[in-house]
Amino acid sequence: MNQVAVVTGGSTGIGLAIAKALLAEGAKRVYITGRTEKTLSQAAASLGDGAVGVASDVADVSDLRKLKVEIEKRGDQLDVVFANAGIAENNGFGETTEVEFSKTFDINVKGVFFTTQTLLPLLKDGASVVLTASIVANKGMANLSLYNASKAAVRSFARSWANDLKARKIRVNALSPGLTETPIMKNGLKMDDAQMAALHDYAATAVPLGYIAQPDEIATAALFLASSDARYVNGIELTVDGGFSQV
């Protein structure tokens, strides 16, 4: 493989699983970003010598420029960018504040846009960009209107950028996970143990495959989109949800 990749939000959850899978497949170097220095350092250490942790908030364009500088310092060009960093928080329509709105859209939409734009000069011609969207973009789940809409924007970016970058043969695709057990459920959505248990019970009947995914099951699909096996796959949304949104 011998690729160089960036995974934003790579210190936990799906991002960390993507980084692990990349290195297991023989990636030369994987840059992971995260906002919490301790968590990021622990993740980078767990990944080994091929990982480089860079503290970076994707909502802060100056942080993204620092990430670009870190990559340039090592003389690396990028084979793939996984614009994965994002948050999920409940918001009650009718009670949502401007601060809540800005937080979600700054990270989930602005962050994805400027991550990709900032790193674009380092992407090789023929490279790949994988954007982490979500099935919520199409499901309209209650009390998640900000999250839902932000992920719809991410899916739209994949379509637009596939056109924008066609002269350089850079492929851009969106990956839309379904129910996946990640720290976002407790840290972002504030689900307690009883709510998590109820969600597992719900998935047993609502998801055709009968369970909630683990991050590594999403990571394998992300790596497919980035790989030469998907060399004629461009501008799509690959839904990985056990059939939940399909039936």
For residue 220, what is the domain's CATH number? 3.40.50.720
Q: Are residues 48 and 107 in the same domain?
A: yes
d(CA 67, CA 62): 9
Looking up tokens 């492929």 gives: 171
198 and 91 part of one domain: no
Q: Which of 241, 245, 228, 227 is nearest to 82 (CA)?
A: 227
Residue 65 domain boundaries: 4-178+216-239
Q: How many CB atoms lie within 10 A of CB 227?
A: 16
Distance in angstroms (rounded) separating the CA atoms of residues 52 and 41? 9
Q: What is the DSSP letter of 189?
A: S
Q: Looking at the structure, tell me whether residues 14 and 111 fall in a common domain.
A: yes
Amino acid, single-letter form, for residue 52: V
Neighbours of 85 (CB within 10 A): 24
One domain, residues 107 and 85: yes
Q: Residue 103 and residue 110: Cα distance in Å, rounded?
A: 10
The answer to whether residue 86 is domain-embedded is yes
Question: Could you tell me if 125 and 232 lie in one domain?
Answer: yes
Query: Model pTM?
Result: 0.97
Give backbone dihedrals phi and psi of 211, rounded to 5 degrees, phi first.
-155, 170
Spatial separation of the C-alpha atoms in residues 245 and 180, rounded to whole Å: 13
67 in the same domain as 187: no
* Active site residues per annotation: 147
What are the angstrom distances between the C-alpha of 66 and each of 119, 171, 243? 11, 25, 40
* Per-residue pLDDT tens listing for the chain (247 residues): 799 999 999 999 999 999 999 999 999 999 999 999 999 999 999 999 999 999 999 999 999 999 999 999 999 999 999 999 999 999 999 999 999 999 999 999 999 999 999 999 999 999 999 999 999 999 989 999 999 999 999 999 999 999 999 999 999 999 999 999 999 999 999 999 999 999 999 999 999 999 999 999 999 999 999 999 999 999 999 999 999 999 9
Q: What span, in angstroms and rounded, lies between the C-alpha atoms of 85 and 35?
A: 10
